Amino acid sequence: MESHHPLKLNRRQFLLHSAITAGGIISTNFVAKSPVFGKAPAIITSDKMRPGIPYGVASGDISNDSIVIWSRSDRPAKMIVEYSTSESFRNVQRVVEPNALKNSDFTARLYLKNLPPDQKLFYRVIFQDLDYQRTYSAPFYGNFRTPPKSGRDIFFVWGGDTAGQGWGINPDFGGMKIYETMRQLHPDFFIHSGDNIYADGPIQSEVTLDDGTIWKNITTPEKSKVAETLTEFRGNYIYNLLDKNIKRFNAEVPILAQWDDHETTNNWYPGEFLSDDRYTVKDVNLLAQRARQAFLEYLPIGYESNNSEQAKIYRSFNYGPLLDIFMLDERTYRGPNSPNNQPVPSKKTDFLSKKQVQWLKRQLLSSKATWKVIASDMPLGLIIRDGSTNFEAWANGDGPALGRELELADLLRFIKNKNIQNVVWLTADVHYAAAHYYDPAKAQFTDFKPFWEFVAGPLNSGTFGPNELENTFGPQLVFQSLPPGTKANRPPSEGLQFFGGVKIDGNTKVMTVTLRNLAGKTVYSVDLPPEK
């Protein structure tokens, strides 16, 4: 992405600019020479003449002194971001570019760089019409807080699985309420651990619940069938942005996003051909290409020079001296789903790939942060099947490390041998919440340091579980949110939706992990003191 230096505006410039870009109707009697834009503003008689911002704003990929700002126009337009340390936008700074064009579905993003540490910043996005260049949108506002250099507590939330299994936006229920629950906790950022959408899960207008009552969904043409075209994949992200809770959340909480399977289709892997009669496009590589484009367009992920081809879903972020976050990509490079019992590593046993594993090792080894959080969209020791004989994740059942587990064993051995401290795994995928403690004393593969894994979700999807744990890496079940035998695909209205929260104390450096339900009530909590 191109780097643009912010432009400071003086008070006179700001007031003139605000008059041009403020919401509502601008009088036909208002015409002024603007020192901000250099030309007289357009005479605007109706908001219909302005570019629109139908899906709000979002921020993401936040690191020490930078962040990505995202939005979407309703027409070809230039994106402008103004930001300030003051909610009244005194001493405002301004960054211009890029253009929102049809080839990106009118989405656009830009970096704000060289930001002050530990500072709440207020921003607004404005779009300048490319055809009528003196016409500007009304602004859409957001805010975020930059990482601290020291001394402040950090709090963030995570979860996965949004709008799955037919549970969409139900206005009578209050929409996707779990996003509002998370927002009210004022987290520093949010990790979306995959299944941002369910491209393979159509939303119908009504679902009959077990008690005979009706769950009513908002529907759109793109969400009424499985996604195959680029327009349909884009439509899945647009659908979620119709929810008022998500739009409000996105404007206030930076997002670190990764993907899993449902951004494309269930349990997919490269080279797969579908036998699903719902699809006319059977080539999963083609579906995944379109799915990836929509994922990168509609989430606030940074990449250089607007070149999405070079963008990587696996990436890392530093959030001050207490925390580094490592986001994994467990879809793009995996081998085929199989019985997963190969005795030696090969391309068929890849899950992350050799390149991604080497990247993760380097990042972990160079990290100076107290805590290292690995965001894995799929759990490590939970058995997740793909059909009757194949496996979808790392685990393949009790016994020694085989198949994809060989890659995980190599990584865990590296962490032990290099004495990399305070590694915690956060994940989702299985649609319930759990806490697992991996103990080498109770494992088949023993050459690793003990560690914790925490599972959260779903976020407005069907509730399932629990899954069976294998013994290869010795996971001990410390907590799970559902009893065995829970009926599958419970609706959000039953309240069995779960997200996780992580607080790191700025003084003691103790990490407190909580698992919370739809109402925000803590159902499990544990304090993890840092290794010394």
Measured distance CA(199)–CA(228) in Å, rounded: 8
Q: Strands, E, within 251-391: which ranges? A: 255-257, 315-318, 323-327, 371-375, 385-386, 390-391
pLDDT at 217 over 70: yes
Question: For residue 2, is it within any domain?
Answer: no
CATH at residue 442? 3.60.21.70
Angle value at C-alpha 270, between 264 and 274, nearest 5 degrees: 65
With CA atoms as reference, report the closest residue to 362 among 420, 308, 405.
420
Both 485 and 356 in one domain: the answer is yes
Question: Given 145, 176, 206, which residue is the final one in a domain?
Answer: 145
pLDDT at 4 over 90: no
The H or E element spanning position 452 is strand 451-455
CATH of the domain at 73: 2.60.40.380
In the listed set 145, 164, 197, which residue is the last one of a domain according to the structure? 145
Instruction: Output the CA torsion sign for 518, 522, 528, 529.
Output: positive
Question: What is the helix, strand, coil percentage profile of the chain, to 5?
Answer: 20, 25, 55
| Digit-coded pLDDT (tens) for 9-38 | 444 344 334 444 443 322 222 222 233 333
pLDDT in tens, 238-294: 999 999 999 999 999 999 999 999 999 999 999 999 999 999 999 999 999 999 999
Residues 419, 358, single domain; the answer is yes
CA R_g for the chain = 24
pLDDT value at residue 28: 24
Residues 109 and 178 in one domain: no
Q: Pseudo-torsion of CA 326, 514, 148, 532, nearest 10°?
A: -70
Structure tokens at 190: 């949010």
Residues 385 and 280 reside in one and the same domain: yes
Nearest residue to 258 via CA among 187, 351, 158: 158
Say if residue 269 is in the same domain as residue 370. yes
User: Two tokens at 144?
Assistant: 């975020």
* 127 within a domain of the structure (yes/no): yes
**Vertex 433 angle, CA 192 and 297, to 5°:** 15
SS3 letters for 36-47?
CCCCCCCCCCCH
Pair (131, 171) in one structural domain: no
Residues 309 and 207 in one domain: yes
What pLDDT is stored for residue 465 in this prediction? 84
Nearest to 337 by CA among 353, 347, 348: 348
Could you check whether the bond before residue 98 is cis, i.e. omega within 30 degrees of 0? yes
Q: Is residue 428 part of a domain?
A: yes
Given a contact cutoff of 8 angstroms between Cβ atoms, the answer to whether 383 and 467 are in contact is yes
Rounded Cα distance, 499 and 520, in Å: 8
Threshold 0.75, pTM exceeds: yes
Structural domain count, the chain: 2
What distance in Å separates the CA atoms of residue 313 and residue 302, rounded to the nearest whole number? Answer: 10
Q: Are residues 193 and 133 in the same domain?
A: no
Q: Do 195 and 124 reside in the same domain of the chain?
A: no
Q: What is the mean pLDDT of the chain?
A: 91
| CB-neighbour burial class of residue 528 (10 A; exposed 0-12, middle 13-18, buried 19+) | middle
pLDDT at 532: 80
Does one domain contain both 139 and 159? no
Question: Is 493 found in the same domain as 476?
Answer: yes
Name the phi and psi angles at 37, rounded to 5: -100, -15
Nearest Cα neighbor of 405 from 343, 457, 354 is 343
Q: Which of 111, 145, 179 is the last residue of a domain?
A: 145
230 part of a folded domain: yes
Please indicate, yes or no, if residue 318 is contained in any of the structural domains.
yes
Residues 132 and 178 in one domain: no
**By residue range, what is the domain housing residue 110?**
7-145
Residue 281 lies in a domain: yes
60-82: average pLDDT: 97
Q: Which residues lie closer than 8 Å to 27 by C-beta, 6 or more apart?
A: none
> Does a structural domain hold residue 118?
yes
Does residue 1 belong to any structural domain of this protein?
no
Beta strands in 194-259 (DSSP E): 206-208, 214-216, 255-257
Query: Could you report the per-residue pLDDT of 341-390, keeping only the tens digit for each?
Result: 999 999 999 999 999 999 999 999 999 999 999 999 999 999 999 999 99
